Amino acid sequence: MVYKFSFTVGKWIFNTHIRLTNTNNKSLRLKKSLNRSLLVLVIGQAFLIPIFNQLANLISYEILDNSKKLYGMRD
C-alpha cells in the first residue's frame, strides 16, 4: 500500500503521510517497497511470533528512544 498510495491504513487513520524516495528523489519501486516490508516483518516484528514480537518491539523502542533512528532510516 505504501508503494501505491504513500500510506498504510494506520497512517491514514492518524492522518500521517510518508514520502519514500530513493537517493535520486524518485519514488520507490515495488521490489524495494516489498524488501522494506519484509525487513519490518523479520527485524521489527520477529515474524509475529508472540514472545519474540514483544522483545522486538522493546528493542525497536530502545533503539528509537536512544538514537531517534530505526533500521533503514536515513537522515
Whole-model pTM: value is 0.57
Instruction: Provide the β-strand partners of residue 47.
Output: none
Q: Which three cell numbers stand for residue 15?
A: 492522518
In order along its 75 residues, the chain shows pLDDT tens digits of 566 666 677 777 877 766 666 666 666 777 877 888 888 888 888 998 999 999 988 988 887 778 766 666 655
Residues 2-9: contacts with CB under 8 Å, at least 24 apart: 2/28, 2/33, 2/36, 2/37, 3/28, 3/29, 3/30, 3/33, 3/34
Q: Where does the chain have alpha helices with state H?
A: 2-5, 9-13, 30-39, 50-67
